[in-house]
């Protein structure tokens, strides 16, 4: 054997050894991806909280990751921001999914910063903040302190109820435009009130929630089941003064996340009350969304169904995750269309996994890209936003629970 043959044999043997030792193509595992991303998110948030504490910063403590700006900066917000409950909620969902005490400890830590919101009577967003954080925590660990905080929060929320109108006031801002604005998103905050009646036996919370939902049913919807964003009522007479948008393209357009909040809200309200009118509305909203000519083939809506530049408009992944999560629940409530709702939700999740995940290790640990917060203000367009991740996790857990039940 000459030198050339020996060299060639050695190279072949080394190559064989390398190939046989190399890891076989590892299949992508969504749970591992999410765990990796959320650990990054926890690290980023803890570092920022510790930096603020070390600097003895007298300003409001910013405790919850909200979004990544279009310039690539992490936006971390104080507890009073309407999105502050979602990050702790994500950690509770991870604890539920894995049973790992790491997530329990982190969920408790980030949830503790939200407690002061129980006193905040200047917003309707109590449900988003408290139910997503303490609510998930209470469901999973039954801590009686969490229960007290939730009841206190529900009591604060119902101070915003106006008898003449029959609903909770959503916003206090823009007083020059609206006297008593009620937004479709407000349906989501009713879940805390339904829970409070179950927890205490006091029907006050339930009655307010039903009154609010019934008014929303009457006044927010157009004949095609799309919804207005903001209805402005006369606080003395309860009459409708204006039907407006705030985050949508136009007063008469269908803002995608608004359709998602309405859909999820009425599925939840049907679960809590058994009222067929709520179920019917939820199913009609689903038809509006899934039969809409401007819904893209991958089922991830543009930020507004009537945005003028479609198809060159930002998507809103958050609308898709909210809808997917509610579709799973709806699929358990009906017979004939159950399979269609479940399959549609599965398709949304498949497409999110295939096309909209953050590159692993990037985006400060956010899971999904391409959500749109407030396009008309040029704010949070096609970026990672925390509530998209929250409803994505919720949808994954609901899917898994439905499929386990079937097996």
Give the active site residues: 125, 185
Residue 247 interacts with ligand GLY (CB under 6 A)?
Answer: yes
Residue 392 C-beta: closest distance to ligand GLY, Å:
15
- Per-residue x/- mask for ligand GLY, residues 48 to 87, rule CB under 6 A? ----------------------------------x-----
Please give the helix or strand (H or E) that residue 350 lies within, else none: helix 338-351
Q: Which is nearer to ligand GLY, 185 or 283 (CB)?
A: 185
* Nearest Cα residue to 389 out of 12, 65, 15: 65
Q: How far apart are CA 349 and CA 144, in angstroms?
A: 35
Residue 160 C-beta: closest distance to ligand GLY, Å:
15
Q: Which is nearer to ligand GLY, 180 or 391 (CB)?
A: 391
Residue 295 C-beta: closest distance to ligand GLY, Å:
19
Under a CB-based contact definition with an 8 Å cutoff, are residues 190 and 226 in contact? no
The torsion angles phi and psi of 47, rounded to 5 degrees, stand at: -60, -45
Q: Which of 257, 292, 398, 399 is the binder for ligand GLY (CB under 6 A)?
A: 257
Going by the DSSP 8-state scheme, the letter that residue 134 receives in this structure is: I
SS3 141: helix
Q: Which is nearer to ligand GLY, 82 or 249 (CB)?
A: 82
Per CB under 6 A, contacts with ligand GLY among 340-379 are 373
Under a CB-based contact definition with an 8 Å cutoff, are residues 159 and 121 in contact? yes
What are the Cα distances from residue 322, in Å, to 151, 185, 313, 366, 388? Answer: 25, 12, 20, 16, 7
Q: Which is nearer to ligand GLY, 181 or 373 (CB)?
A: 373
Name the residue number minimizing CB distance to ligand GLY. Answer: 185
Q: How far apart are CA 286 and CA 145, in angstroms?
A: 38
Q: How far apart are CA 189 and CA 198, in angstroms?
A: 15
Residue 304 interacts with ligand GLY (CB under 6 A)?
Answer: no
CA angle 132, 395, 398 (to 5 degrees): 95
Instruction: Give start and end residues of each alpha helix (H) in 166-224.
Output: 190-200, 204-219
Q: Which is nearer to ligand GLY, 185 or 394 (CB)?
A: 185
Residue 321 C-beta: closest distance to ligand GLY, Å:
12
Q: How far apart are CA 155 and CA 168, in angstroms?
A: 12
Residue 69 C-beta: closest distance to ligand GLY, Å:
16
Q: Which of 117, 185, 283, 304 is the binder for ligand GLY (CB under 6 A)?
A: 185
Residue 246 interacts with ligand GLY (CB under 6 A)?
Answer: no
Cα 200 off chain centre by: 27
DSSP structure string for 48-93: HHHHHHHTT--SPPEEEEEEE-TTS-EEEEETTSTTTTHHHHHHHH
Cβ atoms within 10 A of the Cβ of 51, count? 10
Residue 131 C-beta: closest distance to ligand GLY, Å:
14
Q: Which is nearer to ligand GLY, 89 or 106 (CB)?
A: 89
What are 206's two structure tokens? 């339930």
Residue 362 C-beta: closest distance to ligand GLY, Å:
24
Q: Which is nearer to ligand GLY, 279 or 324 (CB)?
A: 324
Interface with ligand GLY (CB under 6 A) = 82, 185, 247, 257, 373
């Amino acid at each position: 054997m000459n030198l050339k043959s020996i060299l060639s044999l050695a190279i072949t043997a080394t190559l064989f050894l390398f190939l046989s030792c190399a890891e076989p193509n590892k299949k992508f595992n969504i749970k591992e991806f999410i765990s990796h991303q959320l650990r990054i998110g926890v690290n980023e948030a803890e570092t920022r909280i510790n930096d603020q504490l070390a600097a003895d910063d007298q300003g409001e403590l910013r405790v919850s990751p909200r979004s990544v700006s279009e310039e690539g900066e992490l936006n971390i917000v104080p507890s009073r921001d309407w999105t502050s409950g979602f990050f702790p909620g994500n950690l509770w969902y991870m604890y539920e999914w894995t049973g790992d005490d790491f997530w329990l400890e982190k969920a408790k830590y980030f949830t503790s910063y939200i407690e002061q919101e129980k006193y905040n009577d200047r917003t309707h967003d109590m449900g988003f903040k408290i139910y997503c954080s303490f609510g998930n925590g209470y469901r999973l660990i039954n801590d009686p302190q969490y229960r007290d905080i939730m009841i206190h929060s529900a009591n604060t929320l119902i101070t915003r109820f106006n008898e003449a109108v029959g609903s909770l006031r959503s916003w206090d801002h823009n007083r020059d435009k609206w006297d008593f604005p009620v937004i479709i998103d407000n349906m989501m905050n009713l879940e805390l009130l339904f829970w409070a009646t179950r927890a205490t036996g006091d029907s006050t919370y339930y009655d307010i929630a039903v009154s609010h939902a019934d008014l929303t049913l009457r006044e927010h919807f157009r004949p095609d089941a799309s919804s207005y964003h903001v209805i402005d009522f006369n606080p003395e007479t309860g009459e409708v003064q204006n039907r407006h948008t705030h985050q949508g393209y136009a007063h008469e357009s269908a803002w995608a996340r608004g359709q998602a909040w309405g859909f999820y809200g009425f599925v939840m309200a049907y679960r809590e009350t058994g009222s067929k009118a709520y179920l019917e509305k939820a199913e009609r909203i689903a038809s509006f969304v899934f039969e809409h000519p401007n819904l893209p083939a991958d089922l991830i809506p543009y930020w507004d169904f009537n945005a003028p530049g479609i198809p060159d408009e930002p998507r809103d992944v958050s609308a898709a995750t909210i809808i997917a999560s509610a579709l799973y629940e709806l699929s358990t409530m009906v017979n004939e269309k159950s399979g269609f709702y479940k399959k549609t939700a599965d398709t949304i999740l498949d497409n999110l996994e295939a096309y909209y995940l953050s590159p692993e290790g990037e985006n400060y640990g956010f899971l999904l890209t391409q959500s749109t917060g407030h396009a008309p203000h040029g704010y949070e367009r096609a970026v990672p936003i925390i509530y998209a991740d929250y409803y994505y996790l919720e949808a994954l857990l609901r899917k898994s629970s439905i499929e386990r039940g079937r097996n």
